[in-house]
């Protein structure tokens, strides 16, 4: 069997950033896969709400305070996240270090109200279809916040060691910032559905 080369990638530099980086494309593909999972779960939630006589069933709508706190923190985090990505593009180590520390703190801050958000839904995961759908949506998003937070902590630690001298780390910081933007963006429709649909 004869093999045919479709695309020669040997000219790509291992220290490339943005669309010139294979890691960037891998991150984009991962976000598309994860986004599809979120959209499927949103569709399940909306389908269940459309066939239920009452939504949520036998429980009041969720308390909005924890969701508002998380939404506010996530929206505020976009500003330093964009700055960190720009500083990584310029390979400004001092500012990247400071920005990663800020993003670590904001990642932790986003998880704290989530602890109160689960009970604010007034339904356990096994109480009914509403509870299951809500807990899966919140659980998925919590997993994504936690995953990016761990990545941010690791990158932050690396940037304070000799590994910061490797130009590839700056590309990693940009990819991490791209993924955090996805975490923030995907939360907005989830928040609108979780807190808006039960009040319709």
Q: How many CA atoms lie within 13 A of 7 on its CB side?
A: 2
22's CB contacts (< 8 A; 6+ apart) are 9, 12
Q: What is the pLDDT of residues 60-108, one digit of tens each?
A: 999 999 999 999 999 999 999 999 999 999 999 999 999 999 999 999 9
Using CA atoms, how far residue 60 sits from 45, 54, 64, 73, in Å, is: 17, 10, 12, 25
This prediction has a pTM of 0.88
Choose the weakest-confidence range: 4-8, 171-175, 177-181: 4-8
Q: What is the pLDDT of residues 98-151, one digit of tens each?
A: 999 999 999 999 999 999 999 999 999 999 999 999 999 999 999 999 999 999
For residue 12, pLDDT beyond 80: no
CATH assignment of 20-199?
1.20.120.80
Q: Where are the domains of the chain?
A: 20-199
Cβ-based neighbour number of residue 114 at 10 Å: 20
Q: Are 192 and 46 in contact (CB under 8 A)?
A: no
Say how far apart CA 138 and CA 55 lie, in whole Å.
17
């Amino acid at each position: 069997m004869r093999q045919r080369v479709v695309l020669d990638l040997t000219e790509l530099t291992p220290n490339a950033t943005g669309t010139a980086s294979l890691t960037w494309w891998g991150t984009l593909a991962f976000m598309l896969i994860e986004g599809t999972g979120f959209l499927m779960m949103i569709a399940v939630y909306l389908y269940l709400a459309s066939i239920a006589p009452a939504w949520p069933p036998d429980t009041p709508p969720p308390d909005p305070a924890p969701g508002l706190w998380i939404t506010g923190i996530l929206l505020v985090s976009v500003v330093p996240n964009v700055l960190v990505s720009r500083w990584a593009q310029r390979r400004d180590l001092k500012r990247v270090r400071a920005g990663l520390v800020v993003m670590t703190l904001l990642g932790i801050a986003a998880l704290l109200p989530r602890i109160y958000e689960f009970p604010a839904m007034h339904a356990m995961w096994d109480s009914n279809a509403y509870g299951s759908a809500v807990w899966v949506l919140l659980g998925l998003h919590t997993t994504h916040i936690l995953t990016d937070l761990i990545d941010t902590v690791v990158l932050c630690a690396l940037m304070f060691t000799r590994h910061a001298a490797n130009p590839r780390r700056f590309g990693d910081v940009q990819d991490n910032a791209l993924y955090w933007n996805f975490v923030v963006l995907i939360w907005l429709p989830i928040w609108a559905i979780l807190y808006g649909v039960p009040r319709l």
